[in-house]
Amino acid sequence: MSEDCIFCKIVAGELPSKQFHQDDLVTAFQDISEQAPLHVLIVPNQHFKDVGEMGDAQAEILGRIAQVAGQLATQEGVASNGWRLVTNVGRDGGQEVFHTHFHLLGGRPLGPLLAR
Ligand code: DGP
């Protein structure tokens, strides 16, 4: 756990969130600033500042994130229409919270990724 990291505190239950999933490796919770009808953040329980900091030793965590994204998309009813899983890295990537997180977005047409 990293001091002053809001996502570490959410994982630990020290800050409130609408939680969709938690297991030994990852936690999924509602994004506070929804960009789509379904907007869930999927994060490793352990602190990494971004996905670029994660390597072979974290392959299981990254695999779990992809698996949980698919399960939640089905559970939340967006699997048939489609969804997006995206992670931002660093300043140019638009990252604001420096604890690796993947945005699971769905429930509306998301448009071309590079159009925003
Ligand atoms: P990014 O730009 O990829 O770093 O996205 C960070 C996201 O985190 C942004 O969509 C808003 C969300 N967020 C920031 N603070 C909180 C919080 O305290 N709780 C929750 N649930 N989401 C947060």
DSSP string spanning 22-68? Answer: E-SSEEEEE-SS-SSSEEEEEEESS--SSGGG--GGGHHHHHHHHHH
* 115 band by pLDDT with thresholds 50, 70 and 90: low
What per-residue confidence (pLDDT) applies to 76? 98
Q: Which two tokens stand for residue 110?
A: 């998301």
What mean pLDDT do residues 9-18 have? 98
For the Cβ of 96 lying below 6 angstroms from any atom of ligand 1, the answer is: yes
Q: Which two tokens stand for residue 29?
A: 């919770």
For the Cβ of 87 lying below 6 angstroms from any atom of ligand 1, the answer is: no
**Mean pLDDT score across all residues of the chain:** 96
For each of the domains in the chain, give its residue range(s) and CATH number, in order of start: 4-104 (3.30.428.10)
- Longest distance between any two alpha carbons in the chain, whole Å: 40
The alpha carbon of 33 and the centre of ligand 1 are apart by a number of angstroms equal to: 7
pLDDT digits (tens, 9 = 90+) for 27-64: 999 999 999 999 999 999 999 999 999 999 999 999 99
For the Cβ of 97 lying below 6 angstroms from any atom of ligand 1, the answer is: yes
Of all residues in the chain, the percent with pLDDT exceeding 70 is 97
Question: How many residues are present in the chain?
Answer: 116
